[in-house]
Amino acid sequence: MQVYYQDQNGWEQPQYYALWRFLNRLFLRSSQHVEEIKEIDLSACSEITKVMMYCFIKTQHKEELFELDNLRDLTTVKPLSEPLRLIIPPTNSNKFFEEFNIIL
């Protein structure tokens, strides 16, 4: 099972950071992973995963991925209700991710 489908109950910062790194590589190299991306089932993904996917697509300027039937609903994601700190203490700053309550 891919990491983006895993039950995130009980996850801590290291597991969310690993998810962030995996999704970063997946979308950064989207041309190499197009078949996997086309198969993503958003209904099986957590809200955190959906927000991360949305942020990566936007910050990596891969908006054409929103045209895929399975990813179209990502355009309706809302910021997380609570901040998610991926690196403690935060070492980077990304305003777009911060708008969605993901602190790097």
pLDDT score of 95: 83
pLDDT score of 103: 82
pLDDT score of 59: 94
Residue in this structure with the two tokens 């708008």, named with its chain if needed? 99
Q: In this predicted model, what pLDDT tens digit does every residue of 40-95 receive, in sequence order?
A: 999 999 999 999 999 999 999 999 999 999 999 999 999 999 999 887 665 666 78
Q: Is pTM, for the whole model, over 0.85? A: yes
Q: Which of 10, 38, 7, 5 has the alpha carbon at shortest distance from 22?
A: 5
pLDDT score of 89: 62
Residue type, 10: G
CA gap 5, 91 in Å, rounded: 27
